Amino acid sequence: MSGLVMALAAASLMTGAQADVEFDFETRWRYALLDDQFRAGGSDQALSGRTLVGLRLNAGAWTLGGELIDSRVYQDDSGSTLTTSMVNTADILQAYASWQDVADGVQTDIQLGRFTLNVGSRRFMARNGFRNTINAFTGANIRRAAEDWRFTAFLVSPVRRFPNERRALERNEHDWDEENFDQTFLGLHFQHALAAPRTRYEAFLFALDETDSSELATADRQLLTLGGRYYRAPAAGEWDFDIEGAVQWGERSETRAEPSPTRDVFAATGHAELGYTFASPWSPRVSAEIEYASGDDDISDADWGRYDLLYGLRRRDFGQTGIHGPLRRENIIAPGVRLTLRRDAALDLRVLYKAGWLASETDVWTDGRLRDVTGQSGRFVGHHLDTRLRYWVVQDRLQLEVGGAIFERGGFANDAPGAPDATTSVFGYSMVTLRY
């Protein structure tokens, strides 16, 4: 980080501001076990470790920031699903410069470089939490905010994590991540507070454009995603709600292979949730919710109906991920109920039940890697019961977390061509996080 320090020192001299340093450190280790998993390949396990080291140097309106990441996996089985979402050893997650100004009650932030980003509900663009690696982007991000509104605009290229070959991942080998400038992602997001307490609406547009390169085969996606959100945040003794939806259109290749037919995209996604928080000890909140993401009905026509989840999170809406994770925002209809309990800032519990149906019976169940193009295996994927308990042993310093899930396979998961013999998958994990 010596270059970062020298750059900030120069900025400090130019502005006459005194520089100060912020440092943070986090290391997190999780052991997970999956028995009789829903994919082909039998049981699985993994010991996952993620360490983050951050440094921010502030001089007046200027900030230079950097963050290192080291993500590793041990004790995984030979048939484990091992990807760059799990392993990214000793690399630069963030390296950016930002400038901040406040005028007439409006705060402006401009960020340039490599960074992570949370936007809105985090269903379309987010910094990963539970996952062992974190998406990073290189480009520009502009935020303007006043008391009752916030506007975000960004234009970035995603950072590709390396190495990406399985044998190198198994050995936790190192290779530097690189920007993929053949792919660009643009976002516009606006949020406004309404007169009703804790109630806001959001409007957004995301544009993704990618092309094949000599190093990376892609689906040549050119996608526009337009949507909105209307929600009221939870409060004791009050009803709350969250309604969000988006339509997606454009074009893409049918596969990553060359040559591949181009198909016209029209897809959609939606989330609806209604909850109530009781004004009693542990602040119990119960909610009913449903997720929808369209699927592709006909593999032989020129249209593509499967929704692309972009860079959003799925754990909050669909339950456990990692070596588990049977449901995601692709070709799915998933109604469910949720219970959350919070004793205080140190202890909270979540229980979530979701049932999953394919939105299109002829499209793929992504996480199960199964498809019946005839549609004769039905739609029902299965029942998913998920739970999580978190406790801060030392507030904001040392946290313990345990959780698990049971996935009972439905008709499609049992009958689709190539389905494994397993019927019930059991997943459990324990995790410890240390922060400084």
10 — pLDDT class (breaks 50, 70, 90): low
98-149 pLDDT, tens digit per residue, is 999 999 999 999 999 999 999 999 999 999 999 999 999 999 999 999 999 9
The single residue listed with the structure tokens 């130019």 is 14
Element housing 15 (H / E): helix 2-15
How many DSSP H helices and E strands does the chain contain?
4, 20
The more confident residue out of 16 and 355 is 355
Read off the pLDDT of each residue in 323-341 and give the average, rounded to a whole number. 96
pLDDT at 34: 92
pLDDT, the chain, mean: 92
Q: In whole angstroms, what is the distance from residue 118 CA to residue 137 CA?
A: 12
Read off the pLDDT of each residue in 263-270 and give the average, rounded to a whole number. 97
Q: Which residues pair with 207 in a beta bridge?
A: 186, 224
pLDDT over 70 at 8, yes or no: no
pLDDT at 1: 42
Q: What angle do CA 128, 134, 139 make, to 5 degrees?
A: 105
Peptide bond connecting 163 to the previous residue in cis, omega within 30 degrees of 0:
yes
The more confident residue out of 9 and 395 is 395
Return the sign of the alpha-carbon dihedral for residues 338, 120, 137, 295: positive
DSSP string, 313-330: --HHHH---TT-----SS
pLDDT over 70 at 202, yes or no: yes
Q: Reduced to 3 states, what is the DSSP secondary structure of residue 424?
A: strand
| High-pLDDT (> 70) share of the chain, % | 95
**Token pair for 331:** 């070709």
Q: Which of 5-19, 214-228, 350-364 has the highest mean pLDDT?
A: 350-364
pLDDT at 16: 56
pLDDT at 41: 64
Return the sign of the alpha-carbon dihedral for residues 307, 308, 311, 313: positive
Element housing 13 (H / E): helix 2-15
CA 75 to chain centre: 25
Q: Which residues pair with 432 in a beta bridge?
A: 29, 400
**Token pair for 294:** 């369209």
Q: In whole angstroms, what is the distance from residue 311 CA to residue 296 CA?
A: 20
pLDDT over 80 at 215, yes or no: no
| Spatial CB neighbours of 313, under 8 Å, sequence gap ≥ 6 | 122, 123, 126, 128, 129
**Token pair for 398:** 């040392």
Q: In whole angstroms, what is the distance from residue 210 CA to residue 182 CA?
A: 6
At position 56, the amino acid (one-letter code) is: R
Q: In whole angstroms, what is the distance from residue 315 CA to residue 128 CA?
A: 10
Q: In whole angstroms, what is the distance from residue 418 CA to residue 296 CA?
A: 20
pTM (global) more than 0.75: yes
Q: In whole angstroms, what is the distance from residue 96 CA to residue 83 CA?
A: 27
